[in-house]
Chains A and B, each alone.
Chain A
Amino acid sequence: MIELRNVTKKYDGIPVVDRVSLTIEKGTVTSFIGPNGAGKSTLLAIISRLLRQDGGEVIIDGIPIEKWGSSELARRISILKQSNQVNLRLTIRELVSFGRFPYSQGHLTAGDWAAVDQALAYMKLTDIQHKYLHQLSGGQLQRAYIAMVIAQDTDYILLDEPLNNLDMRHAVDIMKTLRALVQDLGKTVVTVIHDINFASCYSDCIVVMDQGRIACSGGPQRIIDRSVLCDVYELDFHIETVNNQRICVYY
């Protein structure tokens, strides 16, 4: 369980995350949605200790984030940011093997390599595992990074806009994979997503952020609602139920 208590982050005195309190349950997909600049990515960075909060507490499995050892925490929680420009001469397999660093500090055991092979197979990358990163398409690259996170084998997986720059088919693939991670492997997935319909169809819980605060949170049936979304996005939403899923039309 991830608990946030009054988490605050300020830039030049202006709060970008403002006294956020939230509990993220294990074994769920939680999606953060909200307009640009709402503080979603900042909050995700704080939960994954990429940024330090100015106030409040982040508690992971009952222990405040500052009290965790670096390696120990890296075996519990992982983060994938939206921009992953790596200028290194790396193959997919080498990238994925980095996921085992928290376990073996770079001296991989046979067990580590088995985990790498598994992650590659899970993301259907086995055939192209020896390709270099700069030879890959956007969709393949994103799958490679997700494979690295899978190899890291953490209970909590945080992804900042994992669907960025992906076409619809690849986006659906990624979201199905994330759901499968929760269902098959019992992971907890936390994402920032801009496409509301993806959030609606694949999340157990949606958290709407606006101006650094949580506007509201709950299941898709409750959150994907005119009264909630029109306010936050300042757009006119038309919402339909298709195949039992709430779909927004706002174009």
Chain B
Amino acid sequence: MTEERYAADRRLIAILALLVAVVSVLYIVVGLKSSTWRYALSLRVPRLLAMIVTGAAAAYSTVTFQTLTNNRILTPAIMGLDSLYVLLQSLAVYLFGAGSVVVSDPRLNFLVVIAGMLAFAVVLYNFLYRREERGLAFLLLVGIILGTFFQSGASFIQMVVDPNEFSVLQNRMLASFNNMNTGILWLAGILLVGAMIVIARQLTTLDVLALGREHAINLGVPYDRVVRRLMVVVAVLVSVSTGLVGPLMFLGLLVANLARERLHTYLHRYLLAAAALISILALVGGQFLAERVFNFAAPISVLINLAGGLYFILLLLKESRA
């Protein structure tokens, strides 16, 4: 019986993988003209790769974070992590100036910002775990306040920097779907693979962590060490996705919960794979529609946030009833 359910889950994952492949091919080939195909490919292939890396990073970071915090509403984005990324990047321009190597070299800039993210992950870890149990409402509130604070901080800095520096910031660093930061693609890809390897080695531990802290300790998980390590991985993954396409707000929430709803299992082996595939499908499919069907009229981030925001409210209503 258990085996049948896993077979259904595996089938679903296979279908998702197929869909991702189909959409990716469509994204690459639709509208290619014989005269400009070389140029079009040189734009499309890196963007496709960026979306795949982003989608996987958003899904992995959210599923992992949800398991660590044992709830399905908190996500790194809702705790303000991706807004922090933008803040740190703006701060780098403010402190070092647009001409400095920390800003002008996209890869170095990426690494510097990640260092800041890691520092914050440690603070967040202490906040979440070193104190006594806190209610979900409290954590949500803190997350929303932090997110708003980081966002406002970032726009404040963007206002006070020199206009020339601001244009640098806007053009090269503040990524979005129409302005993907493909300069850091390889670095981001390597970091993603590294993070995925760390998580892959903890798959069964994640399954146990989902039971909650007390069960995990009872079953011999060295809890503090494992959670700290995974929080660092989450911070790296958020940096990867935000660095490539900017803040995603609700994407992670959406795909992690869809995966948890659709699959019949608690096994992270399947949950992570399904969430990542749904995420990539949403990004590539959405971008395909936005670029080729709506002709850039509706940015995909708006579409995702609309769907994600509605789903988030639905989840809150459901949780408050339970």
Contacts and interface: CB of A to CB of B under 8 A. Distances in A.
A107 B2 CA distance: 16
Interface stretch (A98-106, A136-144, A226-234, A243-251): A98-106
A88 B220 contact: no
B211 A98 contact: yes
Interface of A: 48-50, 70-75, 78-81, 84-91, 93-94, 98-99, 101-102, 105-107, 130, 152
State the main secondary structure of chain B at its contact with A.
loop
Given A79-B218, A84-B215, 16 more contacts: A70-B217, A72-B220, A73-B220, A80-B218, A89-B264, A89-B266, A91-B2, A94-B2, A98-B215, A98-B219, A101-B208, A105-B204, A106-B204, A106-B208, A130-B1, A152-B219
A74 B204 contact: no
Contacts of A80: 218
B266 A94 contact: yes
A171 to B, nearest CB: 22
B207 A78 contact: no
A101 B212 contact: no
Contacts, number: 67
Contacts of A73: 220
List the 7 closest pairs (A to B, CB-CB), nearest first: A106-B204, A74-B220, A71-B220, A102-B220, A101-B219, A70-B222, A88-B266
Contact of B266 (A49, A71, A90, A130): A90
Given A90-B266, A101-B208, A50 B220 contact: no
B4 to A, nearest CB: 10
Contacts of B70: 87
B217 A49 contact: yes
Q: Which of B70, B213, B221, B266 has the most CB of A within 10 A?
A: B266
Interface in B247-290: 264-266
B132 to A, nearest CB: 8
Interface string B201-213: 0011101101111
10 contacts: A48-B217, A48-B218, A50-B214, A81-B214, A86-B215, A89-B264, A98-B208, A105-B204, A106-B208, A152-B219
Contacts of B217: 48-50, 70
Contacts of B218: 48, 50, 74, 78-80, 152
